[in-house]
Amino acid sequence: MKVKFDPDADVLVFILRDDPPVDAIEQPGGVIVSYGEDKEPVSVEFLNASARKLARAGELSITLQR
């Protein structure tokens, strides 16, 4: 999984797989889920990430737990 934050667009993206998206659905609240050809999610985008306190430029920290 990859995580990217674009401070200019204020978008936080979780890339779950490297497959190209073929469809996307915008959920309420500015969340976009993109799906691959197999209908499984390939990425999740959070719009207005800094306003939602999900990310800030230079302050992104990720913790993965098992």
Tracing tokens 């197999």 back to the chain, one arrives at 38
Sort 34 into a burial class: Cβ within 10 Å, 0-12 / 13-18 / 19+: buried
**Three-class SS of the chain:** CEEEEECCCCEEEEECCCCCCCEEEEECCCEEEEECCCCCEEEEEEECCCCCCCCCCCCCCCCCCC
3 or 32: which leads in pLDDT: 32
Taking only the tens place, the pLDDT of each residue in 6-20 is 888 989 999 999 999
Each residue's pLDDT tens digit, 29-56: 899 999 999 999 999 999 998 888 776 6
Q: Quick one: average pLDDT of 54-60? A: 66
Q: What pLDDT is stored for residue 33 in this prediction?
A: 97
Domain segments of the chain: what residues?
1-66
